[in-house]
């Protein structure tokens, strides 16, 4: 029961962070949402910082496992990018911000330990995407005119930005137009060299 209660608290806390923001809820709010006494929250998490760190660590564990599944299930870089974008689409469809975006938006109000966890979260995004971009460039399935780390940053920025735009507009946009975004990362097959103005017709 102890483990089950802790799991419920972390799940509810994650929902509150992704819908209200870390600074906008209290242990009393969490207790009401979870249907338990406030004292039980303090029993499992002495401080809100401890709770926030536990939420991020748990999410990082699940996210890392999900990225491993994507890598196994999809053999090429474009398919992996499409699956990665699906994480953001799922968040929008559920009416929540991605956890990384919700945390980054309130970075200055986060305790130092949570700031470090948030930075590690983004580094995980960039490292994984950087490896995918490098594989795609080597295979010729992604554009090769920019370094893989630059493409990784652009892809994360586009996904995070689309999530914040949908949240700001309040339109619940679940379709992040992944194919349109992905097109910008594919090789340009149209440039076959400059036109030959001296060619006879």
- In this structure, are residues 5 and 38 in contact, taking their beta carbons and an 8 Å threshold? no
Structure tokens of 7? 């799991």
Instruction: Supply the pTM of this predicted model.
Output: 0.84
Q: What are phi and psi of 45, to 5 degrees?
A: -135, 100
* Residues whose CB falls within 8 Å of the CB of residue 4, separated by 6 or more in sequence, listed in order: none
From first to last of its 201 residues, the chain has per-residue pLDDT tens of 446 999 999 999 999 999 999 999 999 999 999 999 999 999 999 999 999 999 999 999 999 999 999 999 999 999 999 999 999 888 888 889 999 999 998 999 999 999 999 999 999 999 999 999 999 999 999 999 999 999 999 999 988 888 888 788 776 554 555 666 787 898 975 443 334 444 443
- Rounded CA-CA distance 156/148 in Å is 12
pLDDT digits (tens, 9 = 90+) for 101-112: 999 989 999 999
Helices (H), 35-147: 38-44, 48-73, 77-93, 99-105, 112-139
Full set of structural domains in the chain with CATH: 55-183 (1.10.357.10)
- Rounded CA-CA distance 169/190 in Å is 36
């Amino acid at each position: 029961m102890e483990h089950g209660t802790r799991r419920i608290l972390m799940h509810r806390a994650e929902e509150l962070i992704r819908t209200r923001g870390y600074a906008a809820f209290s242990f009393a709010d969490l207790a009401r949402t979870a249907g338990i006494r406030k004292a039980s929250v303090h029993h499992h998490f002495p401080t809100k910082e401890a709770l926030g760190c536990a939420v991020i660590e748990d999410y990082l564990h699940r996210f890392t496992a999900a990225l491993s599944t994507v890598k196994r299930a999809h053999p090429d870089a474009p398919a992996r990018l499409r699956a990665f974008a699906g994480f953001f689409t799922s968040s929008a469809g559920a009416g929540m911000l991605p956890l990384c975006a919700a945390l980054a938006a309130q970075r200055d109000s986060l305790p130092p330990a949570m700031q470090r966890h948030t930075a590690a979260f983004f580094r995980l995004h960039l490292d994984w995407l950087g490896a995918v971009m490098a594989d795609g460039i080597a295979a010729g399935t992604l554009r090769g005119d920019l370094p893989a780390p630059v493409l990784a940053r652009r892809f994360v920025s586009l996904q995070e930005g689309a999530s914040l735009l949908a949240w700001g507009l309040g339109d619940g946009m679940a379709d992040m137009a992944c194919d349109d975004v992905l097109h910008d990362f594919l090789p340009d097959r149209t440039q076959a060299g400059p036109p030959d103005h001296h060619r006879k017709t």
